[in-house]
A and B are shown apart, each in its own frame.
Chain A
């Protein structure tokens, strides 16, 4: 077996530290900061995307040779499809947020905000 990596798993430790930090930052942003709700959502979704990248590149060795281009190619398209499915559903079903059967006002709000979430998702990739 080759020794292309260090004896000491530096990559993993950095990845772990980063993901813990990012989680704490996300929790703080959501629960303790005074940002407007829309900005909170954008910020924490962006943090989630970064964390996903850490897992894929630092833990899952997505670019490792021996597995060709298929992994990152399919992962990239999977994220595009995910964005289409989530944003597209919200876009298509957005009439449901206002034309609800006797629904209250809070549906309007949540609809608008969920929208932002998906938009961010879209930009993130």
Chain B
């Protein structure tokens, strides 16, 4: 292989990308060396098994991916701003929409939510950490290296270009030779392993590590939505694992699952992909619903309306999510009967979702609303998401779908559910729980600026796209005709406004880091209802010194009434802690090596990598490190300091 086949050449934008990667990496290395922080990086972060730190790393990675996916989006919108633009060529445009979609779903939405779950769920249920802290670190690093592998593709080997759905036969080896699609397959496979492990880990954590007295129906809603999400992850992700594996075998080892030769069935890929893909959209929306429920209940200063109906709705949505996948390819030609069945199941999803919308409205009804930044994101979510949901029902009608399919109507629909649903929830959750993560709040004034810019930009960007779709503008075309100019231009303006909103948000983070008052209140907003606000800020590494008996799903409200805290001197015991270890990082790095070799079909190197993974598993199996205990004296000392108590 020649070097110029290995690196992508001939594109000025990509050369700029390479230069910026080299510059950023060099800066990071320089800063770490200059401030002598290598050891700190390794000891405090790369080897950590603490759920709070892993959660922070998830969120930082997700924000970086939001930036990357956002830049992709702006490049696409620039290309579409004027008729017959020449900013991106067709091949480059294909690569950009592929990486945009894949990164936003797999490497932005999911890790962001999983990061919030990592930090908040153990705190909400009163747990010391995850059930399997080591596995949690493995999950994070396999996601991280999966994302790294996928992102490498645009400078090394060439980016995938078959859409985020990667349909066969286009993605097969005859029509897409080279490493591009392999990057997609193996990058997703690697991070998928991490997601599945997190799903199992969180489910066991929620089922087995709740505070005394906290029955399932006394769990906070966000924990409930996480539990149901893990259920979907556990059953949906193996389907993706197999689908990706089959296509990898097709491409590298010459089998005939999705090929045109050997009587393969390319449409089976669509079937398997969406059998995972539809549950996947609920994996990214249900935790978002949970976040909104927490934020709305807190800032409406009311108990969430219809707690049981909320839980029931989540469960029903999860169940339905497994029986609607065909609506993504009604036009495949499966026949009227098949389409009718899936049309009905699809429309049924609107019922439990509607229940949730009305519950949020009922929670707000006659309440005293505090218009904080997280609350603004949540309030904006309700009407925006409803627009997306209603157009979803339109798409769900199989006969009408033949008109909407593959147009900007669809593009607008799924952005209307994913952005107000997932992205707004990520912002709301991040701002809401920010004090618990970093010990200070984000600046409210700048945060609200970011919100308004982003919200207006969002509607300006995507609302016109419904009409472009109805006018017949097809999805994924790389130039537009003059008849679609006005609406496309408006849309592009909106996209840049969203970009501006993101920049203001980043400014808000930096500004708050420098100037926000360091806040030592455990209940940072003063409106907290659940157990995570009962811990002191910053949270001690063991989370809870002691736990009270939980009597309702608003645990903190009860505790305040009774004057209880999570520091009861009579109940103190030594706390068991897991040891930090570098094994997860090393194991995931070897997996990265093996996957990278497989991308370029260097089988010998891949086998060596596989052997390395097995060696790491054996090392882990023989590792009997049982962690250590934090003694009572140290707990008392930490709690006193964190709570600002003096000796009595």
A–B proximity contact (CB within 8 A): yes
Please report A residues at the B interface, Cβ cutoff 8 Å: 68, 70, 74, 77-78, 81, 84-85, 88-89, 91-96, 99-101, 103
B267 an interface residue at 8 Å Cβ cutoff? Answer: yes
Q: Cβ of A85 and Cβ of B239 under 8 Å apart?
A: yes
Q: Contacts A93-B268, A103-B263 given; 19 further ones with Cβ under 8 A?
A: A70-B203, A70-B204, A74-B234, A77-B231, A77-B235, A78-B235, A81-B322, A84-B323, A85-B239, A89-B272, A89-B275, A92-B271, A93-B265, A93-B334, A94-B334, A95-B333, A95-B334, A96-B267, A101-B260
Q: Which residues of B contact A77 (CB under 8 A)?
A: 231, 235
Q: Cβ of A81 and Cβ of B333 under 8 Å apart?
A: no
B366 an interface residue at 8 Å Cβ cutoff? Answer: no
Closest 4 CB pairs of A and B: A81-B235, A95-B334, A92-B334, A92-B326
Residue of B nearest to A68 (CB): B207
Given contacts A84-B322, A95-B333, A99-B333, contact A70 B235 (CB under 8 A): no
Residue of A nearest to B323 (CB): A84
| Mask: chain B, 116-130; 1 = CB below 8 Å from A; 0 = not | 000000000000000
Q: How many Å lie between the Cα of A85 and that of B275 in the bound state?
A: 8
Q: How many Å lie between the Cα of A103 and that of B264 in the bound state?
A: 11
A-B Cβ contacts below 8 A, count:
48
B85 an interface residue at 8 Å Cβ cutoff? Answer: no
Residue of B nearest to A103 (CB): B263
Q: Cβ of B338 and Cβ of A92 under 8 Å apart?
A: yes
A–B complex contacts, Cβ < 8 Å, 29 sampled: A68-B208, A70-B204, A70-B207, A74-B234, A77-B235, A78-B235, A81-B235, A81-B322, A84-B323, A85-B239, A85-B275, A88-B275, A88-B325, A89-B268, A89-B271, A89-B275, A91-B341, A92-B334, A92-B338, A93-B265, A93-B268, A93-B271, A93-B334, A94-B338, A95-B334, A95-B338, A100-B263, A101-B260, A103-B263
List residues of B (255-285) whose CB comes within 8 Å of A's CBs: 260, 263, 265, 267-268, 271-272, 275
Residue of A nearest to B333 (CB): A95
Please report B residues at the A interface, Cβ cutoff 8 Å: 203-204, 207-208, 231, 234-235, 239, 260, 263, 265, 267-268, 271-272, 275, 322-323, 325-326, 333-335, 338, 341
Taking the nearest CB of chain B, how far is it from the CB of A121, in angstroms? 16
Q: Cβ of A91 and Cβ of B265 under 8 Å apart?
A: no
Q: How many Å lie between the Cα of A91 and that of B235 in the bound state?
A: 20
Residue of B nearest to A102 (CB): B263
Residue of B nearest to A67 (CB): B208
Q: Which residues of A contact B263 (CB under 8 A)?
A: 100-101, 103
Q: How many Å lie between the Cα of A87 and that of B341 in the bound state?
A: 14
Taking the nearest CB of chain B, how far is it from the CB of A110, in angstroms? 12
Taking the nearest CB of chain A, how far is it from the CB of B533, in angstroms? 29
Residue of A85, A92, A94 contacting most chain B CB atoms (<10 Å): A92
Given contacts A68-B207, A70-B207, A84-B322, contact A91 B271 (CB under 8 A): no
Taking the nearest CB of chain A, how far is it from the CB of B196, in angstroms? 14
Taking the nearest CB of chain A, how far is it from the CB of B411, in angstroms? 24
Residue of B nearest to A74 (CB): B234
Q: Cβ of B275 and Cβ of A93 under 8 Å apart?
A: no
Q: How many Å lie between the Cα of A70 and that of B239 in the bound state?
A: 21
Taking the nearest CB of chain A, how far is it from the CB of B353, in angstroms? 21
Q: Which residues of B contact A100 (CB under 8 A)?
A: 263
Q: How many Å lie between the Cα of A74 and that of B231 in the bound state?
A: 9
Q: Which residues of B contact A70 (CB under 8 A)?
A: 203-204, 207
Q: Cβ of A88 and Cβ of B323 under 8 Å apart?
A: yes
Taking the nearest CB of chain A, how far is it from the CB of B351, in angstroms? 20
Q: Cβ of A95 and Cβ of B335 under 8 Å apart?
A: yes
Residue of A nearest to B239 (CB): A85
Q: Which residues of A contact B272 (CB under 8 A)?
A: 89
Q: How many Å lie between the Cα of A81 and that of B235 in the bound state?
A: 7
Residue of A nearest to B208 (CB): A68
Taking the nearest CB of chain A, how far is it from the CB of B452, in angstroms? 43
Q: Determine which of A81, A85, A91 lies in contact with B338 in the assembled complex, contact meaning CB atoms within 8 Å.
A: A91
Taking the nearest CB of chain B, how far is it from the CB of A124, in angstroms? 18
Q: Which residues of B contact A99 (CB under 8 A)?
A: 333
Q: How many Å lie between the Cα of A78 and that of B231 in the bound state?
A: 10
Given contacts A70-B207, A84-B323, contact A93 B239 (CB under 8 A): no
Q: Which residues of B contact A89 (CB under 8 A)?
A: 268, 271-272, 275
Q: Which residues of B contact A91 (CB under 8 A)?
A: 338, 341
Q: How many Å lie between the Cα of A92 and that of B263 in the bound state?
A: 18
Q: Which residues of A contact B203 (CB under 8 A)?
A: 70
Q: Which residues of A contact B231 (CB under 8 A)?
A: 77
Residue of B204, B272, B335 contacting most chain A CB atoms (<10 Å): B335
Q: How many Å lie between the Cα of A118 and that of B560 in the bound state?
A: 56
Q: Which residues of A contact B338 (CB under 8 A)?
A: 91-92, 94-95
Q: How many Å lie between the Cα of A96 and that of B207 in the bound state?
A: 43
Q: How many Å lie between the Cα of A92 and that of B268 in the bound state?
A: 9
Residue of B nearest to A99 (CB): B333
Q: Which residues of B contact A93 (CB under 8 A)?
A: 265, 267-268, 271, 334
Q: Cβ of B322 and Cβ of A96 under 8 Å apart?
A: no
Residue of A nearest to B326 (CB): A92
Taking the nearest CB of chain A, how far is it from the CB of B585, in angstroms? 30
Q: How many Å lie between the Cα of A84 and that of B279 in the bound state?
A: 13
Residue of A nearest to B275 (CB): A85
Q: Which residues of A contact B239 (CB under 8 A)?
A: 85
Q: Which residues of A contact B325 (CB under 8 A)?
A: 88
Residue of B nearest to A100 (CB): B263
Q: How many Å lie between the Cα of A39 and that of B239 in the bound state?
A: 30
Taking the nearest CB of chain A, how far is it from the CB of B267, in angstroms? 7
Taking the nearest CB of chain B, how far is it from the CB of A87, in angstroms? 11
Q: How many Å lie between the Cα of A81 and that of B335 in the bound state?
A: 23
Taking the nearest CB of chain A, how far is it from the CB of B275, in angstroms? 6
Q: Which residues of A contact B260 (CB under 8 A)?
A: 101
Q: Which residues of B contact A95 (CB under 8 A)?
A: 333-335, 338
Taking the nearest CB of chain A, how far is it from the CB of B103, in angstroms? 28
Taking the nearest CB of chain B, how far is it from the CB of A9, in angstroms? 28
Q: Which residues of B contact A74 (CB under 8 A)?
A: 234
Q: How many Å lie between the Cα of A95 and that of B339 in the bound state?
A: 12
Q: How many Å lie between the Cα of A70 and that of B131 in the bound state?
A: 15
Q: How many Å lie between the Cα of A93 and that of B334 in the bound state?
A: 7
Q: Determine which of A78, A88, A96 lies in contact with B265 in the assembled complex, contact meaning CB atoms within 8 Å.
A: A96
